[in-house]
Amino acid sequence: MVGGPAKLERMALNIDDLRLRARRRLPRAVFDFIDGAAEDEVTLRRNRAAFGRHALVPRVGIDVSSVDLATSVLGERLPAPLVLAPTGLCGMATSRGEIATARAATDAGIRWAASCLSSVTLEEIASEAPGEHWFQLYVWKDRGVTQKLIERAAASGYRVLVVTLDVPVLGQRERDVRSGATIPPRVTLRNAIDTLRCPRWLWTIWRGPRVTFANVTPADGSVSLKPFALSPFVNSLFDPAVTWKDLEWIRRLWKGPLAVKGVMSAQDARLSVEHGADAVIVSNHGGRQLDDAPGSLEVLPEIAEAIGSRVEVLFDGGIRRGADMAKALALGARACMIGRPYLYGLAAAGQAGVADAIRILLGELRRAMALMGCKRVADLGRACLRPASASDSS
């Protein structure tokens, strides 16, 4: 046996292993910030349950000695149909988490969308972890701040702009409210014992720069120097009055490919295209915004049908296995995005943990495709799926 049981014990076999490691490594409030979702977390569970409604059809007698995961996304050839989704404050998982994430994505040849709410400035990411990264934007009430972010992203060489439209107000994430999570995280009487049981995390956070929204400064009135909670910050600075007219305005400012993220209906997908999107990202923000929304995979087919012939459809929400990716690709996604899976890896082992998450999912996808007789991503289609028995979808 190669490596022996100790080696096996160290190696994460799947995303759930990474999640358990992240849970052991992080203070409860920080783990919940990553793992949690809005209100009763119904949408979070629906994201997972939706995959259980489809079974993969095995095929035999096909030469699958070489399975090619390569595909093209927004005009660029990529080695696999995987993009790391934007997640704010990667620095909560480990100090300067954005740099580690960007490097892992670049090493794997895939793309990562840096959130405008990163804990490291977009310029530092571009210079310390160069790569063809994407940049994700929220629309701030102050259009000057919004425009400046777009201009800075263009000047730093970001290739694709992702405009997230599903946060006119912040979803109520009850785990965060209960834990009293703040930015930066602080040690209080209430969480002291729990935080002190995580010395490795505490050490990296304590040694590193202050965890805050690095792209905006106290000078523009955007961030406070005192620890603050996410919800009042977002609700006071993001614009709840954003409309499709703002997307047109952004379209005029951004010369490169533009993707609209947070689309969950065919109607909004069509409107995104009419107002200038080159791609639509089917996403319910990982269940963190409107609770009781459908699982992302449930709405993917109707959106792909409505706009798939005109623009690319990307997908996120609940992917934890390569088989999940295969299902989303078969139902019309050009590429899949993941949020929590790489954050679990980041918290578990920094850059190596993000690399693990990518390696695990792509290994699983490749194996599933071989067993389904699919040599290329384009071979994945509706014929590869059949309804699963009802007992799986709970």
Ligand X SMILES: Cc1cc2nc3c(=O)[nH]c(=O)nc-3n(C[C@H](O)[C@H](O)[C@H](O)COP(=O)(O)O)c2cc1C
Active site residues: 285
Length of the chain: 394
H/E segment holding residue 340: helix 340-371
Number of residues binding to ligand X, judged by CB under 6 A: 24
Site for ligand X (CB under 6 A): which residue of 119, 156, 164, 215? 164
SS3 209: coil
Q: How far apart are CA 44 and CA 36, in angstroms?
A: 8
Q: Taking CB under 6 A as the rule, does residue 323 contact ligand X?
A: no
Query: Cis omega (within 30 of 0) on the bond before 184?
Result: yes
Q: How far apart are CA 201 and CA 9, in angstroms?
A: 21
Q: Is the dihedral of CA 81, 107, 203, 122 positive or negative?
A: negative
Q: Taking CB under 6 A as the rule, does residue 293 contact ligand X?
A: no
Site for ligand X (CB under 6 A): which residue of 30, 34, 110, 362? 34
Of the pair 67, 259, the CB lying nearest ligand X is at 259
Of the pair 168, 373, the CB lying nearest ligand X is at 168
Of the pair 330, 361, the CB lying nearest ligand X is at 361
Convert residues 107-126 into a mask of x (bound to ligand X by CB under 6 A) and - (unbound).
--------x-x---------
Residues numbered 38-57 forming contacts with ligand X, rule: CB under 6 A:
47
Query: Minimum distance from CB of 295 to ligand X (Å)?
Result: 10
Q: Are strands 258-263 and 160-164 parallel, antiparallel or unpaired?
A: parallel
Category of 276 on φ-ψ map: left (φ > 0), alpha (ψ -120 to 50) or beta? left
Residues numbered 212-251 forming contacts with ligand X, rule: CB under 6 A:
none
Q: How far apart are CA 140 and CA 165, in angstroms?
A: 11
Q: Taking CB under 6 A as the rule, does residue 88 contact ligand X?
A: yes
Q: Taking CB under 6 A as the rule, does residue 91 contact ligand X?
A: no
Q: Are 71 and 377 in contact (CB under 8 A)?
A: yes
Q: How far apart are CA 357 and CA 236, in angstroms?
A: 35
Query: Minimum distance from CB of 39 to ligand X (Å)?
Result: 15
Residue closest to ligand X, measured at CB: 339
Segment lying near ligand X (by CB under 6 A), choices 23-31, 210-218, 263-271, 335-343? 335-343
Of the pair 117, 380, the CB lying nearest ligand X is at 117
Segment lying near ligand X (by CB under 6 A), choices 191-199, 210-218, 231-239, 340-348? 340-348
Q: How far apart are CA 331 and CA 297, in angstroms?
A: 8
Buried residues in 369-378 as b, exposed as e (16+ CB within 10 A):
bbbbbbbebe
Site for ligand X (CB under 6 A): which residue of 19, 54, 340, 366? 340
Q: Are 237 and 227 in contact (CB under 8 A)?
A: no
Site for ligand X (CB under 6 A): which residue of 18, 30, 67, 85? 85
Query: Minimum distance from CB of 37 to ligand X (Å)?
Result: 8
The residues that touch ligand X, with contacts defined as CB under 6 A, are: 34, 47, 85-88, 115, 117, 136, 164, 261, 283, 285-286, 288, 316-319, 338-341, 343
